[in-house]
Amino acid sequence: MLEKKVAEIKPFRGGDRLQSGIAGLDELLDGGIPQGNLVVLSGDPGSGKTVFCWQFLYEGATKYNEPGVYISLEESESTIIAGAKEFGWDLQKLINEKKMKVVVVELYDFERLKNLIEDTIRSINAKRVVIDPGVIFRLFFERELDARKRIVALGKMLKEIECTTIITNEISLDKQSSLYGLEEYVADGVILLYHTKIGSHFIRSIGILKMRNTKISEKLKPIIISKTGVSVLVKSDLFLEEQK
């Protein structure tokens, strides 16, 4: 009886999936990210989080006709545009064509931030959203209880609008700093990027901790960051020992 019930469960696929634009990633996600999912992208410094986000938005707007919004809680618009251009991604052109908006937030009123994000998404009917870096949320609150309530409310709003959202987070010294329960209670997915020193080498890798309604790969896979962006080497294994 149990075997029959398991056999009836079908994977979540088809038109409900969004192509990430990250080479090789969708193969680890059973075909892509379920549309409308909220994903926390966690990584240590230098792991490629920001490049990943630029690529996610640029490829979405240019290849899949999915407008995007970049909410920056740290970098200036000019820095973002210049950084992306090094990879051949002309964000300014997309902004001029109203296929993208870059919003630099310089306020610490979380309710105003939430309303700004919603208004910006609706202004161009955005399908993809990036909030970078999510760790800055910690500056908005004095009490953890307030932070948890407001951040959970933000996550629910983003899912109700049915935008596919990436919020970045920091990992430091092999420990992940939680975004006040966003990963545990609201996020549909958590993707981990690592930039680890093994012997005399630095190893970049990616892992899918969870992704709702998705059969995920449970293996860490190596990644490279080249002049064309982030690529997941899905056919390669991750070697964590220095070769002699």
Model pLDDT, residue 44: 85
Q: Higher confidence at residue 77 or residue 173?
A: 77
Q: Please determine, for residue 196, whether its predicted confidence score (pLDDT) is greater than 90.
A: no
Q: For residue 148, what is the domain's CATH number? A: 3.40.50.300
Whether 228 is in a domain gets the answer yes
Whether 8 is in a domain gets the answer no
| Strand 100-104 versus strand 68-72 pairing type | parallel
Distance CA 219, CA 28 (A): 9
Model pLDDT, residue 226: 96
Whether 10 is in a domain gets the answer no
Please report, for the chain, how many H helices and E strands are present, in that order.
7, 12
Q: Number of folded domains in the chain?
A: 1
Model pLDDT, residue 3: 39
Distance CA 103, CA 113 (A): 11
CB burial class (10 A; 0-12, 13-18, 19+) of residue 141?
middle
Whether 207 is in a domain gets the answer yes
Q: Please determine, for residue 62, whether its predicted confidence score (pLDDT) is greater than 50.
A: yes
CA angle 44/155/193 to nearest 5° reads 20
DSSP state of 15: G
Whether 237 is in a domain gets the answer no
Q: Please determine, for residue 188, whether its predicted confidence score (pLDDT) is greater than 70.
A: yes
Whether 39 is in a domain gets the answer yes
Q: What mean pLDDT do residues 115-119 have? A: 94
Distance CA 23, CA 19 (A): 10
Rounded to two decimals, the pTM is 0.86
Mean pLDDT of the chain: 85
Whether 1 is in a domain gets the answer no
Q: Please determine, for residue 171, whether its predicted confidence score (pLDDT) is greater than 80.
A: no
Look up residue 164 and give its two tokens: 């596919």
| Strand 221-226 versus strand 229-232 pairing type | antiparallel
Give residue 195's domain range.
Answer: 15-232
Model pLDDT, residue 183: 66
CA proximity to 223, closest of 17, 16, 41, 40:
41
The confidence band for 180, taking pLDDT boundaries of 50, 70 and 90, is: low
Whether 200 is in a domain gets the answer yes
